[in-house]
Amino acid sequence: MNEIELKLQKAIDAANSVVVAGHVNPDGDAIGACLAMAACLDKVGKDVVVLLEDYDSKYDVIPGRHYIYQGDYDALTPDLFISLDASTPDRLGKAADVMKRAKATALFDHHLNNSIEADIRIVDTSASSTAIMVYSYIDRRIVIDADIGAAIYAGLIYDTGGFRHRTTTPETLEVAAKLMRAGVQFSKVYSSILFEKSRDKTPLFARALSRVAYAEPEIAYTYITREDMEELRAVGYPDGVVDYMINTNGVNTAVYALQKEEGTEMSLRSRVVNVGELAAKLGGGGHKAAAGFTVKDAPPEAVEMIVKKLQAEQS
Ligand code: AMP
Ligand code: MN
Ligand code: MN
């Protein structure tokens, strides 16, 4: 164990109550990392809850939803707070105040420019997921069972796009093999999280694709407005729009804007521009090839703004 790992071990040993939290609008990595960490801490006798916003039912294939706290956040003053897969305090949403009150704090993350303050900071921008970072801790601490394994596996596959992205390493596959040996129903987890489509969301997905437009050099962009949501009586947001676009031939950068009540959420993907750095300048964050940020402007103006910036980066 290195110094930081030893410090984490001591902080966990000293704590009775632990709060584990992931980023707002949680994805497979945030959910998987949080639920795996919570199950491990539960096994070693900690009083643990997880703070995560509501998430899509496709993630119910990840065991451990019962760790998610439904009570009043003001009532929480944990001995230890662990932030997972969040890069800025805003990304923790309401949980950021709980972090401020905690007696000790730790974080695991793999985003560029992590700016969350914590007593113990474990940041590895080369890690393919936060779940694989959490795995290293959990594997030292307990014997990983099929349920904890499934949660870690969910994070691994979500953030690597099913072992496709360039962030995938031999170690990612070695960990996946170990999880398979622990009895994880990998095929079920993989298809629920990465392939399953929702009938309710298909019309909105079609609307987004019908509006895809292109700009030089090799940029594709599209958006969904609140009017689209109303017109199509959509109940949730479609997944995979930006991934569809980046996998279109002749496209090396993709922009997808989703207008919500609070603002427009932008999703960026690129093989040629460091979108993580660009998103960070615009108040968001992410990784080199996948990033996001939120703006007040509505589409299509919000999209035009970012397309211009992406063009300027390549001129
Ligand atoms: P998404 O396009 O939502 O799949 O996000 C791609 C990546 O960017 C993920 O790693 C997110 O954690 C990160 N990201 C998305 N939106 C934001 C934001 N507003 N602030 C910081 N990071 C973000
Ligand atoms: Mn995430
Ligand atoms: Mn992640």
**With bands split at pLDDT 50, 70 and 90, how would you rate the model's confidence at 1?**
confident
Number of H helices, E strands in the chain: 12, 11
Better-predicted residue by pLDDT, 133 or 235: 133
pLDDT band at 55 (very low <50, low <70, confident <90, very high): very high
In angstroms, the Cα distances linking 188 to 36, 60, 65 are 17, 11, 17
Our answer on whether the CB atom of 285 is closer than 6 Å to any ligand 1 atom is yes
Q: Any idea what DSSP says for residue 221?
A: E
Residues 6+ apart with CB under 8 A from 173: 163
What is residue 94's DSSP assignment?
A: T
Q: Is 294 in the pocket of ligand 1 (CB under 6 A)?
A: yes
Largest CA distance in the chain: 56
pLDDT tens-digit readout, 92-151: 999 999 999 999 999 999 999 999 999 999 999 999 999 999 999 999 999 999 999 999
To test the pocket of ligand 1, the residue of 27, 34, 256 to mutate (highest count of ligand atoms within 8 Å of its CB) is: 27
Residue whose CA lies nearest to ligand 1 atom number 15: 292
Q: How many whole angstroms separate alpha carbon 256 and alpha carbon 267?
A: 5
DSSP-derived letter for residue 195 is I
Output the pLDDT for position 89. 97
- pTM to 2 decimal places: 0.96
| Listed range (29-33, 133-137, 186-190, 199-203) with the worst mean pLDDT | 199-203
What three-state secondary structure class fits 242? helix
